[in-house]
Copies of this chain bind each other. A is one copy, B any other.
Amino acid sequence: MNQAARAQRGKPTIRDVASAAGVSAATVSRVINHAAGASPSIRTRVRAVAAELGYQPSSTARALATGRTRTIEMIVTDSCTSGWIGAHPHYGRVLAGVMSALEGTGTQLRIHALTPDRAAAAIDALAADATVGALLANVTPELATRYYLRCRRVISLVPTAPAVPALEVDNLGAVRTAVSHLHRIGRRRIAAIHGPVTNSCAAQRRDGYRNAITDLGLPELGADGGFCRDGGHDAARELLERHPEIDAMFVACDLMAAGAIQAITATGLRVPEDVAVIGFDDSLAAICTNPPLSTMRLPVEQMAADATRILMDGDPGFGFRRFYPVDLVLRESAPERGPAHTLRAPR
Contacts and interface: CB of A to CB of B under 8 A. Distances in A.
Contacts of A255: 284, 288
A111 B88 CA distance: 18
A33 interface: no
Given A59-B129, A229-B287, A285-B288, A95 B66 contact: no
B111 A109 contact: yes
A73 B54 CA distance: 21
B83 A87 contact: no
Interface of A: 2, 4-8, 11, 54, 56, 58-61, 63-69, 71, 78, 80, 83, 85-89, 91-97, 99-100, 103-104, 108-113, 115, 118, 124-125, 127-130, 229, 255, 258-259, 261-262, 265, 284-285, 287-292, 301
17 contacts: A4-B67, A5-B66, A8-B130, A56-B128, A59-B129, A80-B103, A83-B99, A85-B99, A86-B301, A87-B284, A91-B92, A255-B288, A258-B289, A261-B290, A262-B290, A284-B285, A289-B290
Contacts of A56: 124-125, 127-128
A229 B293 CA distance: 14
A56 B131 CA distance: 14
Contacts of A290: 258, 261-262, 265, 289-291
